[in-house]
Amino acid sequence: MTQTRTRLERGRGALGPALALVHTGRAPTRAVLTTELGVTRATAGAVAAELEALGLIEVDARPLGSAGAQGRPSHRLAIAPRGPVALAAQVHADGFRAALVGLGGAIVATAPGRMTVPADPAHVLDAVVEAGAELLRETGRRCVGAGLAVPSAVAEPEGTALNPLHIAWPAGAPVREHFTRSLAAAGIRGADGEPLTGHAGNDINLAALAEHRHGAGRGAQHLLCVATGHRGVGGALVLDGRLHTGSAGLALEVGHLTVNPEGPPCHCGSRGCLDIEADPLAFLGTAGRDPGPESSLLQQARDLIRGDYAEPSVRAAAEQLIDRLGLGLAGLVNILNPDRIILGGLHRELLEADPERLRAVVAERSLWGRSGGVPILPCTLDHGSLVGAAELAWQPVLDDPLAALGAA
């Protein structure tokens, strides 16, 4: 008894790190968990059992083909299939999307909504939270927290949307506060039965965090992510697993790098910024297409590049955007010296349409690109911003599972 308690006390500090390993797919078996944590097999066993008792993971003792360190089959560790979820919400230039995201970055359920985002953030936040509440009712899952992704830098610690350029919100709108209020109004409560405090972050920052934990950014130490949202271009840097947000949450505003000095005026006051030279609207316009009302700008641009790349006007537009994007990336490579670049939104399609052209522009214009050849890869997650918003909500559970789930 005494021995068990000591083991569990020693194990409590390992619960969070153990959960993080299973969450990011780095501990598929108890043998790997033991090695990764640097603890005894008995401690790893107690830790896995505690996470299973909390309803977070499943320990499967049935033998599998592969053997553990001692030649015995190791217990497999998996995310509990009916475990708790985080409510994730995203607001973008064409409306919103709600999702429930489990451990492992798995999207359990999702619902989109299209609307012109009104100037009062409360309207769209109420709508997206209500869509999330409906998903919780339908699935009957327990909710551990809620995170919001917005197309704006989010100032910390205030939780305000500083520069919502492509939606009608006033600069400095207190989005986290509104989001928390919407959660309370929808009657959504945490695992402990208490009202939830919402989390909020920039959509591209959150996508980069999600890709680092679950997608194309895994294992990178200096990960640069550049992506289009539904409008505009954003960037993010993940250093040693942490988002680099700058002193006030405003770092990596890459959308306003000038990539065409003679280009059209940008809403920021400059000209020819990446934001207006390499986003879905720029692509549709350069290809001579008028955007229609049938789907989001991002979707229309994706459909065009995927479906009609053989058409000369589409190909020429793609090449122009690839060249401008490459110029921007080369500048960033010179400044940041990343060990990997990942591209999301329409930039993923531009890379896939002509990977050699983009890599050549970056290599030609960058010191580090020429000498080292920085890998440039497409993002792999669908709805990366939502998965990243869920990461914010999961973080307290990953830090201390017992305390966060009210089971201490």
Which residues form the interface with Zn ion (CB under 5 A)? 256, 266, 268, 270, 273, 275
Q: Residue 275: count other Cβ atoms within 10 Å of its Cβ.
A: 26
Query: Over the range 174-193, which residues count as b (16 or more CB within 10 Å of their CB) and which as e?
Result: bbbbbbbbbbeebebebbee
Q: Which one, 226 or 266, has the nearer CB to Zn ion?
A: 266
Residues 6+ apart with CB under 8 A from 374: 333, 338, 339, 340, 341, 362, 366, 368
Q: Which one, 268 or 360, has the nearer CB to Zn ion?
A: 268
Q: Give yes or no for a cis peptide into 157 (omega within 30° of 0).
A: yes
Residue 232 Cβ, how far from Zn ion at the closest point, in Å? 9
Q: Which one, 173 or 266, has the nearer CB to Zn ion?
A: 266
Q: Which one, 30 or 230, has the nearer CB to Zn ion?
A: 230
Residue 252 Cβ, how far from Zn ion at the closest point, in Å? 14
Residue 257 Cβ, how far from Zn ion at the closest point, in Å? 8
Task: Please provide the DSSP assignment of 216-267 as one string.
Answer: TTTT-SEEEEEEE-SSSEEEEEEETTEE---SSS----GGG-BS-TTSPBPT
Task: Please provide the DSSP assignment of 68-133 as one string.
Answer: -TTSSPPPEEEE-TT--EEEEEEEETTEEEEEEE-GGG-EEEEEEEE-PPPSSHHHHHHHHHHHHH
Q: Which one, 94 or 253, has the nearer CB to Zn ion?
A: 253
Residue 239 Cβ, how far from Zn ion at the closest point, in Å? 25
Residue 51 Cβ, how far from Zn ion at the closest point, in Å? 47
Would the CA dihedral through 23, 25, 30, 36 be positive or negative?
Answer: negative
Q: Which one, 232 or 338, has the nearer CB to Zn ion?
A: 232
Residue 367 Cβ, how far from Zn ion at the closest point, in Å? 25
Q: Which one, 145 or 255, has the nearer CB to Zn ion?
A: 255
- Give the C-alpha separation, 13 to 11, whole Å: 5
User: DSSP state, 345?
Assistant: T
Would the CA dihedral through 287, 288, 291, 292 be positive or negative?
Answer: negative
